[in-house]
Amino acid sequence: MKPIWNFTKKYKTLLLFDFLSVFGFALSELGIPTIIAQMIDQGIERSDPQVIIRLFVIILIISVLGVCGTSLLAFCSTRISTNVTYDLRQTIFDHVMTFSHAEMEKFGIASMITRTNNDAYQIMVFLQTILRSAMIAPIMIVVSLCLVTLTSMNLAIIVFATIPIIVVGVIIFAKYSAPLSENQQRSLDSMNRILREDLSGIRVIRSFNNEGYEEKRFEKENTWYTSQTNKLFKMMSCTDPLFFFLMNLATIAIYYVSAIMLGHQSIEIGQVVAFVEYLFHAMMSVLVFCMVFMMYPRANVSAKRIQEVLNTTSSIHSGNQTLGRIKKVELRNVSFSYPDGEENVLSDISFEVRQGQKLAVIGSTGSGKSTLVKLLARFYDPTKGQILMNDQDISKVDLSSLRQELSFISQKPHMFKGTIKENIAFGLDEAIMEDIHEAAQIAQAMDFILEKENQFEEEIAEEGTNLSGGQKQRISIARALLKKCGLIIYDDSFSALDFKTDSMLRQALAPIRKDSINIVVAQRVSTILDADQILVLDEGKVAGYGQHEQLFETCQVYREIVLSQMSEEEVSDHAKKTHV
């Protein structure tokens, strides 16, 4: 990934104008004092109005050029810095969208938000400072020091003696400010994480009456962030007073020496006035240049944090094969362990399921059910074995092609801020209302949607807080059904539904099962009794694989799960109904 400073390359023309406008600014700032010195000296000596008028016209022309240069400088620097920040944020977002779950877990959502917003802002401020001030500073310093030297070498010595003191101070500041900036940004990550957790989990916090604990947790991090910020700002606030104190000492020394020189008539009054102006611009330019170096540690920390994201590549690499409608899914000896885990979450899993069939996955909590179905959507890649769809290894299939042909309903359905219609149609670029109605009807969502004031145009709040868990699950199921994919994965997607709605939903899904492969992760036995095959997981391993009656007799794990939810009589009644 290219370094973030390369984002300025697309603005070469604006950079050129920005650079040229610097000369207009420098001409007005340094040219006018020089002309005024001539007006004072020549006007006093000659008492010639013509000289004063001629010099006044020159000052007027220089002033106009200076205004044009300053305006162009402000326009170019602002446009470049804001556009570069826009490109930077867009690039970060686009790049993060390619990350697998592993990379997202590595950085964390709160840190990603900070890097995209706050760190990019720090880059913008630094870049604008460089373009508006730092580009001027070197030219102003060089020209000012040349004019100072040409005006009086004796006075120039005072200026040259002052500059090294300022430079040493800046180096000391940069050394101590860098770790403070790093601590500040890391603390901002933590604050954003705590804030996100607390706002998302406000109902849980209130239900456990734990507001005090969360307030203390946030206060602790906020106090740490404030202390680091205070230290950094205190260091920065000390620089201006010290600088102006040093400049005032230099000015006093110059006035003292120039008074002696005026007494000996070795310098003219106009030269003294011009020299003080040169001194001011030289010192201010040094200050500006030093300010850039003082801002650099903070911007550098932000740049490294952003570059770390841009340099990170997804562990999931897209293939180049195209996948048609999924008609067959096969796992061959698949094992998986998380990047930071030592033991396998899944070990030696094999099964095959075809179009029109329903495969149920059941097991105790932590047995690896959700991890298994996440492998099918390539949220992760198996550490061993193969996953085949239509006899194609999905690691060689284009990711977009793969995910276009499957629908995934997660355990925690995610709602986007917008209307119910927009949430159901999220998986399609264009969807007609008839299809949306049909998907909602099958998902048993139509009843509660029609009860809403605006029905399908009803606004869903952020994270779907104005919907119940069951309503969110039904909308997410409708969203998946609308895609009409060959593979539909239900990751415990019926858990928030009451038994009646669950039963009605399964009945509504039955007629459309023949056109797709249905893989259902469930905790309820009643949800999976009609499955063609049932995969029983225990501690990441296959404890049983077959149909309900067979597993109930041969698989102890499955038998215990069934009997924990159903009585022997209910199991027997179901068997009789099935045979009938």
pLDDT, tens digit, for every residue of 251-293? 788 778 878 887 777 777 767 777 777 777 777 777 777 677 7
Condensed to tens digits (0 to 9), the pLDDT of residues 170-183 reads 777 777 777 777 78
pLDDT category at 573 given cuts 50, 70, 90 is: low
pLDDT at 331: 92
Q: Which of 425, 493, 427, 428 is nearest to 457 (CA)?
A: 425
Q: Is the pLDDT of residue 400 over 50?
A: yes
pLDDT at 389: 92
Q: Would you put residue 390 in left (φ > 0), alpha (ψ -120 to 50) or beta?
A: left
How far apart CA 5 and CA 7 sit, in angstroms, is 5
Tell me which long-range contacts 353-356 makes (C-beta under 8 A, separation of at least 24).
353/328, 353/329, 353/517, 353/519, 353/532, 353/533, 354/327, 354/328, 354/329, 354/517, 355/326, 355/327, 355/328, 355/486, 355/514, 355/515, 355/516, 355/517, 356/513, 356/514, 356/515, 356/516, 356/517
User: Measured on CA atoms in the order 303, 19, 285, 168, is the torsion positive or negative?
Assistant: positive
Q: Is the pLDDT of residue 419 over 80?
A: yes
Q: Is the pLDDT of residue 152 over 80?
A: no
pLDDT at 558: 85
Q: Which of 12-16, 239-243, 431-435, 523-527 has the highest mean pLDDT?
A: 431-435
pLDDT at 5: 55
pLDDT category at 33 given cuts 50, 70, 90 is: low
Q: Is the pLDDT of residue 552 over 50?
A: yes
Q: Is the pLDDT of residue 235 over 60?
A: yes
Higher-pLDDT residue of 8 and 475 is: 475
Strand partners, 358: 518
pLDDT at 48: 60
pLDDT category at 134 given cuts 50, 70, 90 is: low
Higher-pLDDT residue of 38 and 307 is: 307
Instruction: Kindly state the percentage of the chain with pLDDT values over 90.
Output: 6
- As a whole number, mean pLDDT of residues 183-188 equals 79
* Residue 35 exposed, middle or buried by CB count within 10 Å (0-12, 13-18, 19+): middle
Q: Over the chain, what is the mean pLDDT?
A: 80
Higher-pLDDT residue of 324 and 277 is: 324
> Is the model's pTM score more than 0.75?
no
CA distances from 315 to 95, 392, 477 (A): 13, 20, 29
Higher-pLDDT residue of 265 and 471 is: 471
pLDDT at 1: 45
112 and 96 Cβ atoms separated by less than 8 Å: yes
- As a whole number, mean pLDDT of residues 38-55 equals 61
Give the lowest-confidence range in 27-36, 174-183, 429-438: 27-36
Condensed to tens digits (0 to 9), the pLDDT of residues 443-458 reads 888 888 888 888 888 8
Higher-pLDDT residue of 202 and 398 is: 398
328-412+486-505+512-579 has which fold? Rossmann fold (3.40.50)
Q: Is the pLDDT of residue 359 over 70?
A: yes
Q: Is the pLDDT of residue 332 over 50?
A: yes
131 and 80 Cβ atoms separated by less than 8 Å: yes
The DSSP bridge pattern shows strands 533-538 and 541-546 to be antiparallel
Q: Is the pLDDT of residue 413 over 60?
A: yes
Which one is the CATH code of 1-136+299-315: 1.20.1560.10, 3.30.750.24, 1.10.1040.10, 2.60.40.1930?
A: 1.20.1560.10
Q: Is the pLDDT of residue 126 over 50?
A: yes
Instruction: Kindly state the percentage of the chain with pLDDT values over 70.
Output: 86
- As a whole number, mean pLDDT of residues 82-100 equals 86
Structure token pair of residue 237: 């606030």
pLDDT category at 323 given cuts 50, 70, 90 is: confident
Q: Which of 52-61, 98-107, 396-405, 561-570 has the highest mean pLDDT?
A: 396-405
Q: Is the pLDDT of residue 579 over 50?
A: no
Domain regions of the chain by residue span: 1-136+299-315, 153-266, 328-412+486-505+512-579
